[in-house]
A and B are shown apart, each in its own frame.
Chain A
Amino acid sequence: MSDPEFGCYLYGVIAVDNHPSLEDLRGVAPAHGVRLLDHGPLRAVVSWVPLAEFGGEALKSNLEDLAWLERTARTHAAVLEHLQASGTVVPVRLCAIFDDESGVRTLLDQEQESFLEALECLCGHAEWSVKVVLSTPEDLRSAARQSSVAAQESAQGESVGRAYLSRKVLDRALRDEGRAMVEAAMDEIHARLRQEAEAGVPLPAQGRDLSGRAGEMVLNAAYLVETSRVSAFQTTARELGERYQELGLDLDVAGPWPPYNFVIPQRASS
């Protein structure tokens, strides 16, 4: 079908021997279901979308509409999660839309090697996200006070005339000490979780307003974890979370996600 009023929306790519059931799956355009498009050893997961909503300028303004974006993002994610439940999926970024099916076939043709390689590498793995939030800075401050030499000395008393200066010095020492403790904790957490995973990447921390969480995010990372090692990964995460709770840090694990963060190109630096 090549219809100037419709485009072909691509969610992800799976292997041709993967047979997910798509019956009750809703597409990003509710009137159109999710379909499979086979080409050689690959299978694209697609649905039709009206260009009045998903074409050029309309798409650009819709992406600026939070309600539209949320609906589309949740549907896109639901399709990928459904696919992941029945096998390996290479997730495609939101809103990849082709004029028609032949555009998708051309892509599968040109990038066949890369998709096959990714499917092979990702087989039996899922992405897990780990976020650490400093939720109670008071706890960090008192932990820093206990380990800080400056705090020990100031507790032993001092002349009243020097109190103001000392307080400033102490504040700075506690802040530095707290920062160093958080940094050491993050290094430890990332290193330990990385050992339980095939790969791990730090992501940009979400700002306080953005995350909706109380407290500041000090670690936002994604790990690619083999299915058979998920419980070991979770156990390690739980232990780390308990250990660092006394610094006022909350560790949160979420997953399994489709491997969104492990199919984008390698950084130039790594």
Chain B
Amino acid sequence: MSEETGLSAQHDIALVDLVDRLLAGGVVITGDITLSLASIDLVYLNLRLVLGSASTVLGERDASVDLPVTVDSHILENGKGDLRLPRLRASGCGTLTSPNRVGRDQASGA
């Protein structure tokens, strides 16, 4: 595990990890010159095809932890509509604090 060192100390972050975050994550902004969202997603898809095919040992499964197993579905999700607003994913701002408290109680009680 690499938790003892900060990311900047790790010189070997795989390109795919960076690309996964920088092309699939981050606020999407429609700059004046920026490639359209669709083009970015195409680049992302092409890259994954160039670097290797995405697959998982769990195959078609996407059940309990809701693993999105294909690149395409991920892109479709992110490629929908105008996505300029930075919004917290998975948890809205209002729900950010209360589940935290619940989680802590459960963790300490367990």
B100 to chain A: which residues have CB within 8 Å? 198, 226
Q: How far is the CB of B11 from chain A (nearest CB, A)?
A: 10
A90 to chain B: which residues have CB within 8 Å? 27, 86
> Is B25 a contact of A254 with CB atoms below 8 Å?
no
**Number of B interface residues, CB 8 Å?**
77
Given contacts A196-B103, A212-B14, A256-B7, contact A96 B1 (CB under 8 A): no
Given contacts A70-B15, A93-B22, A195-B103, contact A98 B86 (CB under 8 A): no
Please list the residues of chain A having a beta carbon within 8 angstroms of any beta carbon in chain B: 7, 10, 12-13, 51, 54-56, 59-60, 63-64, 66, 69-70, 73-74, 76-78, 81-82, 90-99, 103, 107, 111, 114-115, 117-118, 120-122, 129, 134, 179, 182-183, 186-187, 190, 194-212, 216-219, 221-222, 224, 226, 229, 232, 234, 236-238, 241, 251-257, 260-268, 270
> Is B90 a contact of A201 with CB atoms below 8 Å?
yes
Given contacts A97-B33, A260-B22, A260-B26, contact A254 B65 (CB under 8 A): no
Would you call the interface of chain B mostly helix, strand, loop, or mixed?
loop
> Is A92 a contact of B29 with CB atoms below 8 Å?
yes
> Is B70 a contact of A204 with CB atoms below 8 Å?
yes
Residue of B with least CB distance to A218: B57
Listed A/B pairs (5) with beta-carbon separation below 8 Å: A70-B15, A90-B86, A91-B25, A107-B31, A195-B107
Q: How far is the CB of B73 from chain A (nearest CB, A)?
A: 8
B55 to chain A: which residues have CB within 8 Å? 205, 207-208, 216
